[in-house]
Amino acid sequence: MARIGDVLVGTCLMVRHELEPAHDLTPWLAGLVVEVGQRGRGIGAALVRAIEAHALEQNLIIPAHILLRRSSWRTRLV
Tens of pLDDT, residue by residue over 2-49, are 999 999 999 998 887 666 766 666 677 788 899 999 999 999 989 988
Say what the pLDDT of residue 10 is.
96
Domains parsed from the chain with CATH numbers: 2-16+25-66 (3.40.630.30)
Q: Which residues of 20-34 are buried (b: 16+ CB within 10 A; e: fewer)?
A: eeeeeeebbbeebbb
Instruction: Report the residue count for the chain.
Output: 78
- Residues sharing a CB contact under 8 Å with residue 52, sequence separation 6 or more, in sequence order: 62, 67
Cβ atoms 28, 17 nearer than 8 A: no
- Please state the pTM of the whole predicted model: 0.70
pLDDT of 11 reads 94
Strands of 2-4's sheet in order across: 2-4, 7-15, 28-34
